[in-house]
Amino acid sequence: MPSEIYNGKLLRFKFDAKKVLHATSCKLDFSTKLEEIATKDTDGTISIPGNYTWSGSTEALLANLPTGDTTHVTFDDILAKKLAGTEIDVEFTTDAIGDILYTGKAYIENASITADTGSSTKVSISFKGNGNLTQDVVV
């Protein structure tokens, strides 16, 4: 049954079909380049939408992958893909039948670790879409 209001705890990123381990937040951004046109026959500026771009980010706690876990990806796995310049498959979904599913290909743009005294170590990952982002529903 699809969610009426999406629970933020359930909506998450998958990189190459694996969930980001211990994710705490995620964000998917869309942007459209607008061409501004002004002519001698207009008093204001006319905007014409052009191509769109998409990007995303997630934060997680730094942790080792539990023995036998094949459904999650760790920060080290993601960092290796970033350093190699490898394109990844991205999914943004709850995995619940009927809920949203966004898919596309992207490159890891930034990856960082923050280790503050008195708190768990956090990682941040941001990526930039490469090509189209597809909208669908989980079946």
pLDDT at site 88: 98
- Could you say which residues of the chain have pLDDT below 50? none
Give the 3-state secondary structure of residue 138: coil
Per-residue model confidence as pLDDT tens digits over 26-56? 999 999 999 999 999 988 999 999 999 999 9
**CB proximity list for 94: less than 8 A, separation 6 or greater:** 3, 6, 7, 10, 11, 12, 100, 138
pLDDT at site 1: 53
pLDDT at site 3: 54
For tokens 């997680």, what's the residue?
A: 60
pTM confidence score = 0.88
pLDDT at site 109: 97
Terminal Cα-to-Cα distance of the chain (whole angstroms): 11
